[in-house]
Structures are given as C-alpha cells and as structure tokens.
C-alpha cells in the first residue's frame, strides 16, 4: 500500500497519543506537531493542559479548546512531543525548519521524556543535509555569519522571517555534522547566537517513525 508523507505524519501523531500521561504535556511546532494537536483534541478531557512551543501551536491548541499553560506555571513535565527536520538513530536531531527552535528547546528541557514524531524521510545517517537553523539577535547577524563561515558552513539569512522572540534565523548549509554534541556546544559559544537547531546534548528519548509498513519505534 502506498502512503503519502502526510499520511505517515498522521499515523505517528496518532501513535504518540499512547505516550501522553495525565497532567500537563509539552507540545512542539510544525506540520507533524499540528497533526498531534488534532489527535490531542480527542483526549483533551484526560489532560490538564499543554505548554506550547510557539504562538502558532498555542493558537491551534486553543482553537481545539485545549488549555494552554504558561511554562513558568507548569513546572517539570513528563513528556514533550515534537517533530524534527532530521534525526539519527542516536536520537540527535536538527530542528527549527519552522523557526520555533528556541521555545522548543526550552520546553523540551522541562520535560522528562522527548517523544519525536517523524515520517521516514527524516531519518539520516549524518545530520546536515537539511540546513541547520540558528536563531540570532538581529544586530549580531553579520558577526555570527562570519563565525559560521569559519566553521565551514554557508549561512543564509531566512528572508522576511522573524521568530516569536523577535530575532532572525540563519540557515547554515553545507555542514556535515559528524559530532552533533560537540558542534551544538561550540555554536552555543558564539555571542549573538540565541539557540542553534541541533538537539543532540538533549536528544529524543523515543522516536516514532512513520513508514508505509506502519509506525516504528526507535530508542537510544
């Protein structure tokens, strides 16, 4: 049976519902996370509410009548569910294709378990074919771009885009990321960088991957 990418995203979103505990859940951003929010609406009576990783996610949650809770009120959560742009079998990810990486990293940090939901096109051996998004304070844009060139990347400003935090995104092309933990750490040292899209120091704990044969579960 042939299955579209959207159908695979829907299938993993549905499968992720099994990982939703009672209480407050952290919710990611993007097309796969949107399918998850739609599934969450069916079981909203079982949860106390959700912490949103973006304005767009908060709006979708509210539209479904799901209570949106401020992260500072939520405390530590059991689970965070989100998509990814690329993921390895070691559970390191590139995120931020939708520009929501900073709030995603913050909400993920407050959850005990990161459940990543992807279709099989996102699974890679080496991260970096998908340009690595980096959120940057606007005045530091040129400085940060020069530092990224020194690291072997080709940064491109995401034209006409401003993050929920009022910053810009540099999408870094041409990186072959053999040591994601080391690169994530190094990028964090560049002044003007708010957040980089490598989620490796705190990667996913579980990956639900949609395939035409069904949903596969990958763990570390």
**Do residues 129 and 163 make contact, with C-beta atoms less than 8 angstroms apart?**
no
Helix, strand, coil percent values for the chain (each to nearest 5): 35, 30, 35
Q: Beta strands 86-87 and 93-94: pairing type? A: antiparallel
Q: Beta strands 24-27 and 49-52: pairing type? A: parallel
Per the annotation, does 122 bind a ligand? yes
Per the annotation, does 62 bind a ligand? no
Question: Residue 82, interface with ligand R5P (CB under 6 A)?
Answer: yes
Q: b/e string for 131-140 if b means 16 or more Cβ within 10 A? A: bbbbbbbeeb
Q: b/e string for 94-116 if b means 16 or more Cβ within 10 A? A: bbbbbbbbbbbbebbebbebbbb
Q: Which one of residues 95, 134, 148, 203 is an interface residue with ligand R5P (CB under 6 A)?
A: 95
Q: Which one of residues 8, 13, 28, 134 is an interface residue with ligand R5P (CB under 6 A)?
A: 28
Question: Residue 85, interface with ligand R5P (CB under 6 A)?
Answer: yes
Question: Residue 155, interface with ligand R5P (CB under 6 A)?
Answer: no
Residue 171 CB, nearest approach to ligand R5P (Å): 11
Question: Residue 163, interface with ligand R5P (CB under 6 A)?
Answer: no
Residue 91 phi, psi dihedral angles, 5° rounding: 75, 15
Tokens in use for 59? 């709006």
Active site (annotated) includes residue 104: yes
Question: Residue 32, interface with ligand R5P (CB under 6 A)?
Answer: yes
Question: Residue 84, interface with ligand R5P (CB under 6 A)?
Answer: yes
Measure the CA–CA gap between 59 and 154, rounded to whole angstroms. Answer: 34
Question: Residue 31, interface with ligand R5P (CB under 6 A)?
Answer: yes
DSSP 3-state assignment of 179? Answer: coil
Residue 207: closest CA among 93, 77, 124, 118: 118
Give the range of 44-52, 99-107, 171-179, 205-213 binding ligand R5P by CB under 6 A. Answer: 99-107
Residue 210 CB, nearest approach to ligand R5P (Å): 11
DSSP assignment of 6-24 equals: HHHHHHHHHHHGGG--SSE
Nearer to ligand R5P, 33 or 58 (CB): 33
Active-site residue, from 7, 59, 76, 104: 104
Per the annotation, does 29 bind a ligand? yes
Residue showing the smallest CB distance to ligand R5P in the complex: 30
Question: Residue 57, interface with ligand R5P (CB under 6 A)?
Answer: no
Residue 150 CB, nearest approach to ligand R5P (Å): 26
Site of interaction with ligand R5P (CB under 6 A): 28-33, 82-85, 95-101, 104
- What residues are labeled active site? 104
**Residue ranges of the binding site for substrate:** 29-32, 82-85, 95-98, 122
């Amino acid at each position: 049976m042939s299955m579209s990418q959207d159908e695979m995203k829907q299938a993993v979103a549905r499968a992720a519902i099994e990982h939703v505990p009672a209480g407050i859940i952290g919710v990611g951003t993007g097309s796969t996370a949107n399918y998850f929010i739609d599934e969450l609406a069916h079981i909203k009576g079982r949860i106390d509410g959700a912490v949103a990783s973006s304005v767009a996610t908060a709006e979708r949650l509210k539209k479904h009548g799901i209570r949106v809770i401020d992260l500072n009120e939520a405390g530590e959560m059991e689970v965070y569910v989100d998509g990814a742009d690329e993921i390895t079998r070691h559970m390191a990810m590139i995120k931020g294709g939708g520009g929501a990486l900073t709030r995603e990293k913050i909400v993920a940090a407050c959850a005990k378990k990161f459940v990543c939901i992807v279709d099989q096109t996102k699974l890679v051996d080496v991260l970096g074919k998908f340009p690595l998004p980096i959120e940057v304070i606007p005045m530091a844009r040129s400085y940060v771009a020069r530092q990224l060139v020194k690291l072997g990347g080709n940064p491109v400003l995401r034209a006409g885009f401003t993050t929920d935090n009022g910053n810009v995104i540099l999408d870094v092309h041409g990186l072959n990321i053999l040591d994601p933990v080391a690169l994530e750490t190094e990028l964090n040292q560049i002044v003007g960088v708010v957040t980089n899209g490598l989620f490796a120091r705190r990667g996913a704990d579980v990956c639900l991957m949609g395939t035409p044969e069904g949903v596969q579960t990958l763990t570390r």
